[in-house]
Amino acid sequence: MLTVEKATFTESAIGMLARHATPFLFFTGKGGVGKTSVACAVGVALADTGSRVLIVSTDPASNLDEVLATDLSDAPRPVNGLENLYASNLDPEVAAASYRDALIGPYRGVLPDATVASMEEQLSGACTVEIAAFNEFAKLVGDESATVGYDVVIFDTAPTGHTLRLLTLPTAWTDFIETNTSGNSCLGPLAGLNAQRELYARTVEALADGGKTTLVLVSRADTSALAEAARSSEELADLGIRNQVLVLNGLFTATTVGDPIASALERRGAEALTHMPPALASLPRVEIPLLVRSPLGMKGLRLLAEATPGAGQPAGAMSAETASFPGASSMSALIDEIAATGSGVVMTMGKGGVGKTSIAAAIALELVRRGHSVHLSTTDPAAHVAQAIAGFSGGLTLSRIDPEVEVEAYRTQVLAGATGLEPEALSLLQEDLRSPCTEEIAIFRAFARVVAEASDRFVILDTAPTGHTLLLIDSSEAYHREVMRNTTDTPPEVLALLPRLRDPDFTKVLIVTLAEATPVSEARRLQTDLARAGIASYAWVVNQSLAETATTDPVLRARGLNEIPHIDAVIDREHRVAIVPWVSEPPVGEGLFALVGGGQPGE
Amino acid sequence: MTARVQVYDPAMCCSTGVCGPTVDPDLIRFARDLAWLRHHDITVDRYNLAQEPGAFVDNATILAALQTEGPECLPIVLVDGDRIADAGYPTREYLIGLLASKVGD
């Protein structure tokens, strides 16, 4: 087992990770924490010292090409400008799609079109993609001949606990792979791969070998990013992956005195680190300072690789001139339009870490302030909105969709009907209940309950089902109608849901993003997925933008300038875009009003 | 001769159906009943349309049903090759009735 001592001023965090590298490095962390950049910087540092390195992404939304400034494919290619460094993108959605095509292709025209369509939708789920991703790991980790010639293989993603548990369940293998007759599980995408059983077993074994595998947990000094890293750490440690290192990325130290944005950012980071979950606090840790731009290309990656805490930053205050975007709207203008309809659903969607919960809460409060009746349903226990509405006459009701509570209720309900099941079948069922698809379904049920309330008031939601879930429910409903020739026990609010979500007068979807490359491309993918279910987005919200603030801190100012091309690109494509400047007050309670003021923070 | 039960499921994510849109207690009940049948030396084969479409094409009864009735005919249960009358997943009692002579032998 390796240990990594705390970073000192003499060695960079990346240098230390490289020096202690095991043959396989897996990077994991919440969206937006900089996994790919850190993974690539470690790869560059290793290659610079003579190791032969392969970097692999299994993220369907990989930005490895952009970070390495190299056109990549699913076969390893040399990275521009560097000897010894190779990289490839193994897109599990592509792998899942070719699996799907290979499976379904021969039956087109043989089975009825509607039958083929139902097969395709079933094979488009999160489970299929997740297992396909593991399949890509296994080909490299479990088969030594596949990585001959490489000293280190770096993955910018890691397997999930759900996948690993499925693969270690003997039932899953004996029932599904060996006999393939007693039913299927989330392992479905591996059907017909019995020959690879040994490979998966070796893969799981290599993952648990601390001499071979290191799990690198990447986080920012942010409460929810730290919580997610802690969850992965505990879950994967339970499955034997105990050689773990924590990387704290993007740590910010203010260099100018009296800049309210800079000091607030520094304070918030320090606060989050003070309350770091115990699972992380005990891990070896390295720290990387906030850089002025996302490290792209060799030059950027070397800067990241050399960054030591507190060093290498531009000095001196910069001009406080703010950028302006004439094509953009403001939150207050957006809310004017929403308020004019008098009722309906507003959903904020976006990847983790973009602040969709704060935006949802701020819209709810502003509508209440304007005298509307509003129901806010949030997944965030810490939004502290209740205290902010004291003093307004309009009514705000609050509810919370807690994914854990919803999944647990669903699990209990299902297991209550499963008494008398053989122990092996029961453990397979229990694992099915932990699949990403199951979580989607459980949250969906809570979601449908809340949406039904929006006929005579506003309902604001910071969560939304995926296009896949919506299509699955739609096709299943059609199926039930046909088969049963009567209505099922499907609640009426579920039946009404999809037509309501597809009605732009009833439902407004706000896509929330940050003005950076990866969050914008991820937001586009969300938009495409929703469009698949016939739901159009209403507006984009570019959140936490430094470009429009008056900060003079050199690092923050430079970051603000780097946002401009991303904001311009969003404005070019979307017809309604609101920009929300970074605010110095934490966006909770009264502080939420700063998000919808449409002017400078603290107004 | 051993009795044989074949189950042709509609496209499902998993055999328990918990990944599906609504909880279907019938699926779990049925999985349990199939386990019971296996325990009593009945051969049970189960096919999921989303994962083993070949089985649906290879069986003339199933292919004909899909072509004339559409995918809504699923699930179909065959006992020794004959389609049982019940739509949906039959109860254990119903299956026992059909299989009685063979189980009793």
- Give per-residue pLDDT as tens, A199-228: 778 888 888 999 999 999 999 998 888 988
- Give per-residue pLDDT as tens, B3-46: 889 999 887 765 555 555 455 667 777 877 887 888 888 888 88
A595 three-state secondary structure: helix
Task: Determine the pLDDT at residue A192.
Answer: 44
Q: What percent of chain B has pLDDT over 70?
A: 79
B83 bridge partner residues = B78
| B-chain residues near A482 (CB < 8 A) | 70, 72
Count Cβ atoms below 10 Å from residue A196 Cβ, excluding itself.
18
The more confident residue out of A602 and A69 is: A69
Best mutation target among A169, A429, A437 (most B Cβ atoms within 10 Å) is A429
Task: Tell me the C-alpha distance between A533 and A470, whole Å.
Answer: 7
For chain A, give the mean pLDDT.
Answer: 80
The more confident residue out of A36 and A411 is: A36
Most confident segment among A36-40, A61-65, A357-361: A36-40
Distance from chain centroid for Cα A426: 30
Task: Determine the pLDDT at residue A217.
Answer: 96
* Contact between A131 and A1 (Cβ < 8 Å): no
Confidence label for A1 from pLDDT (cuts 50, 70 and 90): very low
| B-chain residues near A188 (CB < 8 A) | 13-14, 48, 50-51
Q: How far apart are the first and last CA of chain A?
A: 53
- Give per-residue pLDDT as tens, A317-339: 566 667 788 889 889 999 999 99
Please report the number of interchain residue pairs, chain A to chain B, with beta-carbon separation below 8 angstroms: 142
- Checking if the pLDDT of A486 tops 60, the result is no
Contact A432 B14 (CB under 8 A): yes
Task: Determine the pLDDT at residue A532.
Answer: 82
The more confident residue out of A554 and A124 is: A554
| B-chain residues near A112 (CB < 8 A) | 66-67, 70-71
The more confident residue out of A556 and A453 is: A556
Task: Tell me the C-alpha distance between B97 and B101, whole Å.
Answer: 8
Contact B48 A184 (CB under 8 A): yes
Task: Determine the pLDDT at residue A41.
Answer: 95
Q: What percent of chain A has pLDDT over 90?
A: 32
Task: Determine the pLDDT at residue A348.
Answer: 92
CA distance A52 to chain B (A): 40
CA distance A397 to chain B (A): 28
Task: Determine the pLDDT at residue A468.
Answer: 65
Query: What Cα–Cα distance (Å) separates residue A67 from each residue in A39, A101, A516, A547?
Result: 10, 31, 13, 22
Task: Determine the pLDDT at residue A137.
Answer: 83
Task: Determine the pLDDT at residue A37.
Answer: 92
Contact A103 B51 (CB under 8 A): yes
Task: Tell me the C-alpha distance between A498 and A490, whole Å.
Answer: 13
Query: Which of B18, B22, B72 is facing A429, going by the closest CB pair?
Result: B18
Task: Determine the pLDDT at residue A318.
Answer: 60
Task: Determine the pLDDT at residue A246.
Answer: 97
- Give per-residue pLDDT as tens, A156-168: 987 777 777 766 6
- Give per-residue pLDDT as tens, A85-127: 999 998 888 887 877 787 788 888 888 887 787 777 777 766 6
What's at A287, amino acid-wise? E
- Checking if the pLDDT of A411 tops 50, the result is yes
Task: Determine the pLDDT at residue A48.
Answer: 93
Task: Determine the pLDDT at residue A436.
Answer: 72
Could you list the active site residues of A?
32, 34-37, 59, 518
- Checking if the pLDDT of B73 tops 60, the result is yes
The more confident residue out of A540 and A584 is: A540
Query: Which of A433, A472, A479 is facing B18, going by the closest CB pair?
Result: A433
Query: What is the arithmetic mean of pLDDT over A277-289?
Result: 94
| B-chain residues near A414 (CB < 8 A) | 16, 18, 23, 25, 28
Task: Determine the pLDDT at residue A598.
Answer: 44
**How much of chain B is helix, strand and coil, in % rounded to 5?**
45, 15, 40
* Contact between A560 and A549 (Cβ < 8 Å): yes
Task: Determine the pLDDT at residue A178.
Answer: 39
Contact B19 A476 (CB under 8 A): no
Window 54-93 of B: residues touching A by CB (8 A cutoff) are: 54, 56-57, 66-67, 70-72, 87-88
Query: Which of A183, A432, A441 is facing B46, going by the closest CB pair?
Result: A183
Query: What is the arithmetic mean of pLDDT over A509-537?
Result: 88
Q: What percent of chain A has pLDDT over 70?
A: 80
| A-chain residues near B66 (CB < 8 A) | 111-112, 115
Task: Determine the pLDDT at residue A390.
Answer: 58
Q: Please choose, from the candidates A594, A169, A525, A41, the residue with its C-alpha nearest in 3D space to the C-alpha of residue A358.
A: A594
Task: Determine the pLDDT at residue A184.
Answer: 46
| B-chain residues near A123 (CB < 8 A) | 50
Task: Determine the pLDDT at residue A501.
Answer: 86
Q: Is the dihedral of CA A351, A298, A566, A560 positive or negative?
A: positive
- Checking if the pLDDT of A576 tops 70, the result is yes
Confidence label for A78 from pLDDT (cuts 50, 70 and 90): very high
The conformational region for residue A157 under phi > 0 = left, psi -120 to 50 = alpha, else beta, is: beta
CA distance A225 to chain B (A): 27
Most confident segment among A346-350, A390-394, A429-433: A346-350
The more confident residue out of B29 and B68 is: B68
Query: What Cα–Cα distance (Å) separates residue A19 from each residue in A12, A204, A346, A599?
Result: 11, 25, 49, 48
- Give per-residue pLDDT as tens, A255-271: 888 888 999 999 989 99
The more confident residue out of A511 and A294 is: A511
Confidence label for B54 from pLDDT (cuts 50, 70 and 90): confident
Query: What is the arithmetic mean of pLDDT over A342-354?
Result: 86
Contact A441 B56 (CB under 8 A): no
B18 inside 8 A of chain A by CB: yes
